[in-house]
Amino acid sequence: MNFSYWEKSTWLQAIDYLIIGSGIVGINAALTFREKHPNANITILERGMLPSGASTKNAGFACFGSVTELVNDYKENTEEQIIELLQLRWKGLQKMRTLLGDKAIEYKPTGAHELFKEEAELQMAHDQMQKLNWTIEEAINQKDTFTLDHDAQKFFGYASFQTTSIFNQHEGQLNTGKMMKAFLKLAQSKNIQILNGCEVSEIRTTGKPTIQLTNGQQIAANKILVATNGFAKRLLPEIKVTPARNQVLITDPIKGLKLKGCFHFNQGYTYFRNVGNRVLLGGSRNIALEQETTDTFGLTPDIQQHLETMLKENIIPNTEVQIAHRWSGILGVGNKQPIIKRLSDDVGIAVRLGGMGVAIGSLIGERGAQLLME
Ligand X SMILES: Cc1cc2nc3c(=O)[nH]c(=O)nc-3n(C[C@H](O)[C@H](O)[C@H](O)COP(=O)(O)OP(=O)(O)OC[C@H]3O[C@@H](n4cnc5c(N)ncnc54)[C@H](O)[C@@H]3O)c2cc1C
Q: What string marks each residue from 345 to 364 as x (binds ligand X by CB under 6 A) or -?
A: --------x-xxxxx-x---
- CA 179-15-225 angle, 5° bins: 55
Closest CB to ligand X among residues 51, 209: 51
Closest CB to ligand X among residues 48, 157: 48
Kindly give the pairing relationship between strand 347-351 and strand 42-46: unpaired
To ligand X, the closest distance from the beta carbon of 107 in angstroms equals 12
Closest CB to ligand X among residues 27, 321: 27
Question: Where in 23-82 is the site for ligand X (CB under 6 A)?
Answer: 23-26, 45-48, 51-55, 57-61, 63
Cα–Cα distance measured from residue 84 to residue 79, given in angstroms and rounded to the nearest whole number: 9
Of the candidate residues 200, 239, 279, 363, the single one contacting ligand X (CB under 6 A): 200
To ligand X, the closest distance from the beta carbon of 128 in angstroms equals 22
Is 235 a binder of ligand X (CB under 6 A)?
A: yes
Closest CB to ligand X among residues 254, 282: 282
Cα–Cα distance measured from residue 295 to residue 234, given in angstroms and rounded to the nearest whole number: 9
Residue 30 half-sphere exposure toward CB, CA atoms < 13 A: 30
Closest CB to ligand X among residues 60, 348: 60
Is 284 a binder of ligand X (CB under 6 A)?
A: no
In which region does residue 62 sit, left (phi positive, over 0), alpha (psi from -120 to 50) or beta (all else)? beta
> What angle, rounded to 10 degrees, do the helices at 176-189 and 24-36 form?
30
To ligand X, the closest distance from the beta carbon of 130 in angstroms equals 25
CA-nearest of 208, 83, 79, 61 to 139 is: 83
Alpha helices in 190-327 (DSSP H): 232-235, 289-292, 301-310
CA-nearest of 18, 78, 51, 54 to 351 is: 54
Closest CB to ligand X among residues 162, 362: 362
To ligand X, the closest distance from the beta carbon of 159 in angstroms equals 26
Closest CB to ligand X among residues 165, 247: 247
Of the candidate residues 12, 21, 162, 279, the single one contacting ligand X (CB under 6 A): 21
> What angle, rounded to 10 degrees, do the helices at 79-100 and 119-140 form?
70
To ligand X, the closest distance from the beta carbon of 246 in angstroms equals 3
Task: Return the amino acid letter for 10.
Answer: T
Q: Is 172 helix (H, G, I), strand (E, B) or coil?
A: strand
Closest CB to ligand X among residues 164, 265: 265
Is 174 a binder of ligand X (CB under 6 A)?
A: no
Of the candidate residues 70, 105, 227, 340, the single one contacting ligand X (CB under 6 A): 227
Of the candidate residues 329, 343, 362, 372, the single one contacting ligand X (CB under 6 A): 329
The CA-based dihedral angle spanning residues 134, 139, 143, 144, taken in that order and rounded to the nearest 10 degrees: -50
Question: Where in 131-160 is the site for ligand X (CB under 6 A)?
Answer: none
Q: How many CB atoms lie within 10 A of CB 283?
A: 25
Kindly give the pairing relationship between strand 210-213 and strand 200-204: antiparallel
To ligand X, the closest distance from the beta carbon of 7 in angstroms equals 18
Task: Return the amino acid letter for 101.
Answer: G
CA-nearest of 18, 12, 9 to 221 is: 18
- CA 88-135-117 angle, 5° bins: 95
Question: Where in 96-115 is the site for ligand X (CB under 6 A)?
Answer: none
Closest CB to ligand X among residues 105, 164: 105
Stretch that binds ligand X, among 68-76, 115-123, 192-200, 341-349 (CB under 6 A): 192-200
Residues contributing to the site for ligand X (CB under 6 A) = 20-26, 45-48, 51-55, 57-61, 63, 198-200, 227-231, 235, 246, 248, 282, 329-331, 353, 355-359, 361
